[in-house]
């Protein structure tokens, strides 16, 4: 009898661990997709798509350190603000994800690298930001509740020591 109870407890514990791991994997995939969709919407100045990805109370700290409420963020991507060609030139890549899920809330930290194509005889150039998203699971899925963009200083060439 004791063996059977111990076996059942072990089985239940194992099943709950497996279920939690599957849930975390699903959440992580959905959160990565949210970040990618936000980046794509920003690059394309797709304000309608961006609007659907943000919570009603979304706030952002811009790369310049400005506090931007949802309306200001959406206004930046308004159709009349689109650059020539209808979207941002270049590409946007995401790497170095750190995702922590706390029930219906998640914190996603990611490295975002924007690469401009070569232009006017200049080679392509890249700039990276570290972005922290606070996300909330709503009835329709994960949405971004806030973001903070922080510039990553480009690596500086080593400076040779001055001779004495």
The string of DSSP codes covering 115-131 is: EEPPBTTBPPEEEEEEE
Q: How far is CA 49 from the centre of its chain?
A: 15
From the CB of residue 79, how many other CB atoms can be counted at a distance below 10 Å? 10
Whether residue 163 is contained in a domain is answered as: no
Q: Domain range for residue 113? A: 14-151
Whether residue 42 is contained in a domain is answered as: yes
Residue 4 has a pLDDT of 58
Whether residue 64 is contained in a domain is answered as: yes
Whether residue 5 is contained in a domain is answered as: no
Tens-binned pLDDT, residue by residue, of the chain (164 aa): 565 544 444 434 343 444 444 557 899 999 999 999 999 999 999 999 999 999 999 999 998 999 999 999 999 998 888 888 777 778 899 999 999 999 999 999 999 999 887 777 777 778 899 999 999 999 999 999 999 999 888 777 777 777 76
If phi > 0 it is left, if psi is from -120 to 50 it is alpha, else beta; for residue 33 that is: alpha
Q: d(Cα 20, Cα 83) in Å, to the nearest integer?
A: 44
Output the domain CATH number for residue 132: 3.10.450.50
Residue 82 has a pLDDT of 84
Whether residue 3 is contained in a domain is answered as: no
Give yes or no for a contact between 136 and 147, defined as CB atoms under 8 angstroms apart.
no
Which CA distances in Å does 76 have to 15, 24, 71, 72? 47, 33, 9, 6
What's the structural domain count of the chain? 1
Residue 155 has a pLDDT of 77
What's the pTM?
Answer: 0.77
């Amino acid at each position: 009898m004791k063996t059977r109870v111990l076996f059942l407890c072990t089985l239940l514990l194992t099943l709950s661990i497996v279920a939690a791991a599957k849930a975390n994997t699903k959440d992580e995939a959905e959160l990565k997709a949210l970040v990618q969709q936000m980046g794509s919407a920003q690059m394309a100045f797709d304000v309608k798509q961006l609007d659907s990805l943000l919570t009603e109370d979304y706030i952002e700290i811009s790369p310049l350190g400005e506090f931007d409420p949802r309306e200001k963020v959406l206004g930046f991507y308004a159709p009349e603000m689109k650059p020539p060609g209808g979207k941002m030139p270049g590409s946007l890549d995401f790497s170095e994800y750190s995702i922590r899920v706390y029930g219906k809330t998640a914190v996603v930290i990611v490295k975002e690298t924007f690469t401009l194509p070569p232009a006017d005889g200049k080679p392509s150039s890249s700039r990276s930001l570290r972005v922290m998203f606070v996300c909330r699971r709503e009835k329709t899925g994960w949405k971004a509740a806030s973001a903070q963009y922080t510039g990553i200083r480009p690596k500086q060439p080593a400076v040779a020591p001055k001779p004495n």
